[in-house]
Amino acid sequence: MGRSSKITGDRGEDLAVSYLKKKGYKILKRNFRFERGEIDIVALDGKTLVFAEVKTATTLIMGPPESWVTAVKQKRLGKVAQKFLYDFNDDTIECRFDVVAITLQQNRPHINHIENAFWLQDE
């Protein structure tokens, strides 16, 4: 990731955290890493544990940012989420995967928050 991509990504994550906090979410962790994967935001929405993937774009040339969360990415997020749940040590908590897609145009963010954006398939 180039420097400008990192800056854009970090800005998007900061915007997503602010947005989720305004919606009443409690942010538990940012950038939770395990092996080669990372979950951008782990939060509580009431009693539901939310694993949020943030995608930020400055242009739509590559399509909307929410479309960048591919099946391969979803599988990787699932593995990281399993590690978080193991560490969290509560196997009764409900959880879900959200995508927060942010488009920065003319320096104004447009946020598309997709709750229950995907489900993981059993293998």
Task: Return the CATH number at 69.
Answer: 3.40.1350.10
Nearest to 28 by CA among 68, 84, 91, 73: 84
Torsion sign over Cα 94, 120, 85, 57? negative
73 falls within a domain:
yes
Q: Who's near 53: CB < 8 A, 6+ residues apart? A: 39, 40, 69, 73, 77, 97, 98, 99, 100, 117
Per-residue pLDDT of 41-84, as tens digits, reads 999 999 999 999 999 998 888 899 999 999 999 999 999 999 99
| Element of type H or E holding 45 | strand 37-45
123 falls within a domain:
no
13 falls within a domain:
yes
Two structure tokens written together for 50:
């939310």
Residue 83 belongs to domain spanning: 3-118
* Mean pLDDT, the chain, integer: 91
Per-residue pLDDT of 28-41, as tens digits, reads 999 999 998 999 99
22 falls within a domain:
yes
Structural domain count of the chain: 1
Alpha-carbon 8 to chain mean position: 15
34 falls within a domain:
yes
36 falls within a domain:
yes
